[in-house]
Structure 1
Amino acid sequence: MKEDMNLDFLKRLAKGIVQHFGNDCEVVIHDLKAENLQNTIIGIENGRVTNRKIGDGASHIVIEALNNAKHDSKDSLGYLTKTHDGRTLKSSSIYIRDENNEPTGIFCINYDITQLTIAENSIKSLLNHQEESTEVEKIPRNVNDLLDDLIDQSVKVIGKPLALMNKEDKIKAIQFLNEAGAFLITKSGDKISEYFGISKFSIYNYIK
């Protein structure tokens, strides 16, 4: 983001939100114009919630924004995410746009609702009320974690372990990773080819 005044306001806003909601709230500012996906975080308050800091890398929503048509990117409010140590967060991601309506950054709010969820489940248990649990995405600590998460998702999409996958299954997995933006991550081809036991040349063919 080029406008220092806007960035200063966003950082002050982030600090105000965290001060208002307390230690369980984190606010992160991602720069979509960053040259390196490993360094998209340009502002963060209370980073202990997800164990991140300024200079750390992209999350799932950053990859989605860069991989999709930018004008089609929409704010996401009140969705659930998980940290790598299993805590549940209520998250909102709001796009920062320039005068041409192009997204230049993302303003993210993450609130740790783990203790509230535990209390809620206890109350539901007393009331004999049950809900089916749904899987939510994890917030990666860095781009390597993000790539690992995307690979795990590709395996779940196929519905069978790697050892049982045939060529058609691997093609579908690679195409899923391509659509998810995995290949935007530096040197992702090396890791993905090693994981699936195929050559980088095969990956390019599978994508086509």
Structure 2
Amino acid sequence: MLNRYHAIADAIALLFTPYAEVAIHDLASQKLVYIANNRSQRELGEDSNLNDLQDNLDLQVLGPYQKRNWDGGQMRSISAVLRDDNQRPIGLMCINLDITVLSSAKAALETFLSGSTLQPQPAVLFQDDWQERINTFIHQWLQQHQQTLSTLGGPARRALVEALYHQGAFRGKNAAGYVAKILGIGRATVYNYLKNIKESV
């Protein structure tokens, strides 16, 4: 009856190839009866060593929990209790995901993005950098209004241009064109927004 779960094991292993191994254990025989993408170098028919789990078989899922592979790889595992048509536990499907590469990538990203070597922006370079000020303001405005550049509609774009206007963003040369490029609209549209804003002030 555990054969019905083989395709599921294969599908999970393929989806997360080459990092996932899926093993199926027979609770009656306490043996490993199927394994997809064998990363642990186990053999079919070997002992499952599941005696300690007998008292937990009323659960549907066990884990996730940490394991260590034979090669030292860091594994994150989770097990699902398999049942027959009468809901009696007959097997255990264990999904073992090797997260060694992900952990290394996470550590590298944390080191790279930590900013420990960053210094404050040099005032001599940024005091006249109107583009930097526009970028910063737009980013903060979008966060405050829970928006993104890709989701901004016409009214929101006009509101953003108006906010930029009141911040003095358009004093810089070619600022209107720069804002138009960021918002993905024509320069004429920005000029029209500004004209209406100035008339309403």
TM-score with structure 1 length normalisation? Answer: 0.49
Query: Equivalents in 2 of 1:51, 1:85: separation in Å?
Result: 10
How many residues get paired? 115
Q: Which amino acid aligns with 2:14?
A: Q
Counterpart residue number, 2:64: 78
Aligned partner of 1:63 in structure 2 is 51
Structure 1: distance between partners of 2:56 and 2:37 = 31
Aligned-pair identity (%): 29
Change beyond 3 A, Cα 1:23–1:123: same
Q: Does the CA contact (< 8 Å) of 1:70 and 1:102 recur in 2?
A: no
- Do structure 1's residue 89 and structure 2's residue 75 form an aligned pair? yes
Which amino acid is 2:17 matched to?
Answer: G
For structure 2, list consecutive stretches of 5 or more residues without a partner in the other structure. 116-201
Give the deviation of 1:128 after TM superposition: 4.3
Query: Is the CA contact (8 Å cut-off) linking 1:25 and 1:111 kept in structure 2?
Result: yes
Distance in 2 (alpha carbons) for counterparts of 1:44 and 1:70: 21
Specify the code of the residue in structure 2 equivalent to 1:20: L
Whole-Å separation in 2 of the counterparts to 1:57 and 1:11: 19
Q: Which amino acid aligns with 1:12?
A: A
Opposite residue 109 of structure 1, the aligned amino acid is I
| 1:34-84 C-alpha deviation (Å, 9 max, x unpaired) | 0xx4xx10111111x11112112225xx23222x2643x441243321113
Contact 1:81/1:91 (8 A) holds in 2: yes
Q: Is the partner of 1:55 in helix, strand or coil?
A: coil
The answer to whether the 8 A contact 1:81-1:90 is kept is yes
Contact 1:82 1:89 in 2 (8 A): yes
Structure 1 unpaired stretches of 5+: 130-208
Contact 2:76–2:98 under 8 Å retained in 1: yes
Give the structure 1 partner of residue 112 of structure 2.
126
1:102 and 1:25 map into 2 onto residues whose CA distance is 27
- How many angstroms apart in 1 are the aligned matches of 2:100 and 2:57? 33
CA deviation after TM superposition for structure 1 residue 100, in Å: 4.6
Length-normalised TM-score, structure 2: 0.51
* 1:46 pairs with one of 17, 37, 40: 37
Partner of 1:14: 9
RMSD: 2.2
| Whole-angstrom CA distance in 2 between matches of 1:91 and 1:13 | 16
